[in-house]
Amino acid sequence: MAETKDCHGNTIPVYAKGTVGANTIVKGAVPEGSVFSIKVNVTAKQKSLPVAGQFYMLRATKGKCLLGRPISVYHTEILGESKTEKGRLDASIEFLILKKGKGTTELCELEKNDSVDILGPLGNIFPDPKNVKLEKKITSNKNISSKSGAKNSTKKICIIGGGIGVAPVSGFAETLEPKTYDFYACFKSGKYGVKNVKAKKLIVTTDDGSVGIKGMLSAALDEKKISEYDIVYACGPLPMLSYVQSICKAANVKSYLSMESRMACGMGVCLGCTIETVDGYKRCCKDGPVFEGDKLIFLKPSACAEQVVAARKNKNVKPDLSVKIRDVVLKNPVIGSSGTFGFGTEYKDVFDVNKLGGISSKGLTLEPRQGNSGIRLWETPSGLMNSIGLQNPGIPHFIEHELPEMLKLKAVTIANLSGSSLETYIEGAKLLDKTDVPIIELNISCPNVSAGGAALGMSCEMAGSATKAIRKVTEKPLIVKLTPQASDVAGVALSCIEAGADGIVLCNSFQGVAIDIEKGRPVFDKVKAGFGGPAVRPIALRLVYEVCTAIRKLPKDKQVPVIAIGGIATWQDAVEFIMAGATAVQVGTNTFANPNSMIEIIDGLKEFMKRKGFNTIEDFRGCAL
């Protein structure tokens, strides 16, 4: 593939900040507002401007996403010589962006004059048809005419774009002489991105028949019709590209396919965007994105879980979000986590806490505690460190004052029981057993106390012994909150279940250290502190996955629910944990960032279940195991 190079043969990507010149909704895209046209104004040397087929890594400067997103160039317009930088040009680079995930959403929400981090142009380009050497066509299909390679001036060109993939091939079409190519544009519904196309024939297909031919690409182009062309250029979803490859191979037609893959750098360094080819793995960003079609190996996409497939049959679903912890029913699986939600009443003026499935109280000890000295909170990227030290009024005070108010709420009350020794745990459990509290959460995982807490949850033996001791003094449903610091978390969970736990809560804060670089000293008096927030979510998800896998191997009557905790901020996060086997989820740190997050999770779960056809949480719980 050809690349944009300098006089030394090196590609010329530039990392800079562009300015949004315009950001508008693309008309014709369905649903409306799903595709945006963003024009980014840049000042660059001529050699640093993009060539059709290339892409940029784009990131909203004010956005929260770590990585840029690879976006193909749709159209480039030179505005003139720069008035401020000699020898450079002012240009407007237009991108079509499908609003899909967090990164593209942040880009689509940019306003005029907002800043954009840009790295590019990157990747190779579509080869000029005049420079493509063709081989004699040979085919055994009698219905397909055989013909020898055409001369450059008479090559018949076919360009195919599918969905947002019309952007790079439309940009390429602009570089060709008008009326020298045919253009196929395929969409699920509607039509967009072809305003600059000046094709001999423009054929549009839509799955729903809203524009042009009804059906996918195969409704307009097959092996016989593709044989009429000498070269095919295409970009779109993988199933479409796989189809293009197959009919081109059958008809012995040269094809160039523009691929896409998840990327981190765009520079060929991270090796995260590799594409499988007959010549081994190739980097989509550096060796591509344009590849010779017959070099690519298209793998079958992974199949959906059986539960997901079965649910598609369900229509007009009215989701039931209720879950059970032993004999206690929670109306939904969303629980306010201990230590981040007080006693529930503190937030009742901010949102309707009665909509929650449950509320886990502030960590409670037999005696009142003042907590740790010094700094207690320290924000980190995508997380929060804390060294509170279980400050609480003590269980007797809780029983007399806070518990009655919690029980008035419609959310199920969960008393989080901690202690400085096993004896104080036992005495606290005895007091709670005499109350109307529905569930006790045994906290053997607090990272911020010198005695008790996480020390009891580090080994199978100690965790099992603690659970057994509490089980002896209460008949109430008992769930055990574990630390992620144990060397064998799954083993600890199984020991707790064997000792009588009715559920496992996983996982409490991770331990971390922060340094005050101005003082050259640890931030926290106890040096180590608890760390939570979105940054820990993938690790917490891994632990939940492992524990749920281990529990699933137990006899049915021994299996207990897992309540997941760890960086949960959105309904998508909650779905991940439930698919990993969790019955319910607790939301902690994100309540500080967005007090409405738990309500948004409940609403999001409900809509997700409607869309996917799930009647209950059990319909998709553990489907990823």
DSSP-based three-state secondary structure for 592: helix
* CA separation for the pair 116, 68 (Å, rounded): 10
pLDDT band at residue 531 using 50, 70 and 90 as cut-offs: very high
Q: For residue 137, name the pLDDT band (cuts at 50, 70, 90).
A: low
Q: How many CB atoms lie within 10 A of CB 49?
A: 20
Q: Does the pLDDT value for residue 353 go beyond 90?
A: yes
pLDDT band at 146 (very low <50, low <70, confident <90, very high): very low
User: Helix, strand, or coil here: 20?
Assistant: strand
Report whether pLDDT(307) > 80: yes
- Residue-wise over 199-231: b if at least 16 C-beta within 10 A, else e? beebbbbbeeeebbbeebbebbbebebbbebbb
Of the residues 158, 248, 284, 446, only one is catalytic, namely 446
pLDDT over 70 at 448, yes or no = no
Long-range contact pairs involving 65-70 (C-beta distance under 8 Å, separation at least 24): 65/102, 65/103, 65/106, 67/103, 67/263, 67/264, 68/103, 68/117, 68/118, 68/119, 68/266, 69/103, 69/104, 69/107, 70/122, 70/260, 70/263, 70/266, 70/285
Q: What percent of the chain has pLDDT above 90?
A: 86
Provide the whole-model pTM: 0.88
Instruction: Give the pLDDT confidence score for residue 303 in this predicted structure.
Output: 87
Instruction: Identify the three-state secondary structure at position 219.
Output: helix
pLDDT in tens, 227-248: 999 999 999 999 999 999 999 9
Residue 446: the pLDDT is 77
Confidence of residue 283 (pLDDT cuts 50, 70, 90): very high
The confidence score (pLDDT) of residue 269 equals 94
pLDDT mean across residues, the chain: 93
Q: What is the model's pLDDT at position 454?
A: 66
Please list, in sequence order, all residues whose beta carbon lies within 8 angstroms of the beta carbon of residue 577, skipping any fewer than 6 positions away. 541, 544, 564, 568, 585
Question: What integer pLDDT is reported at residue 145 of this predicted model?
Answer: 40
pLDDT of 200 strictly over 90:
yes
Q: Is 446 a catalytic residue?
A: yes
Around Cβ 303, how many Cβ atoms within 10 Å?
Answer: 8
Residue 351 · residue 596 · CB < 8 Å: yes
The predicted pLDDT at position 75 comes to: 96
Evaluate whether 564 touches 544 at the Cβ level (below 8 Å).
Answer: yes
Band (pLDDT 50/70/90 cuts) for residue 451 is low
State the Cα–Cα distance between residues 276 and 295, nearest whole angstrom: 9
Alpha carbons 177 and 198: distance in angstroms, whole number: 8
Structural domains of the chain, ranges and CATH numbers in brackets: 14-122 (2.40.30.10), 151-295 (3.40.50.80), 323-368+393-510+532-619 (3.20.20.70)
